[in-house]
Amino acid sequence: PKAFDAFLKQVWKRYREERAAKPESWLDYSEEEIAEALKGASVGRYEPQVRSTEIIFEEVLTWEPMEKAWSHSGPRKRSAAGANYFYDREKGIAFHDAGYW
């Protein structure tokens, strides 16, 4: 859990740095919203969507549903690009769902 928490803190630290350099590219988040996002609260106008547990490449890849995973929102660009992170603290498994435009 500590590694995931450290990773998520780094995601939001990078957001602050990039937003300071190019504020027109990013949605605005208050420090309170960032603190809530670090706890697993959804922030911003885009809610995480449940995705299929199957991806098709040359072979079908599947994985077990993460029944006890918490969803953590990452920062979003004004284009809606961003990511959600799903983390099961009991199993130590994380899933990253990102969209880039």
The pLDDT tens digits for 68-94 are 888 888 999 988 888 888 889 888 888
Please state the length of the chain: 101
Domain boundaries, the chain: 2-42+51-99
CA 49 to CA 56: how far, in whole Å?
19
pTM of the predicted structure, to 2 decimals: 0.73
CA 97 to CA 99: how far, in whole Å?
7
Q: State pLDDT tens for residues 30-65.
A: 999 999 988 887 776 544 444 555 555 677 666 677
Q: State pLDDT tens for residues 13-36.
A: 999 999 999 999 999 999 999 999
Q: How remote is the C-alpha of 48 from its chain's centroid?
A: 9
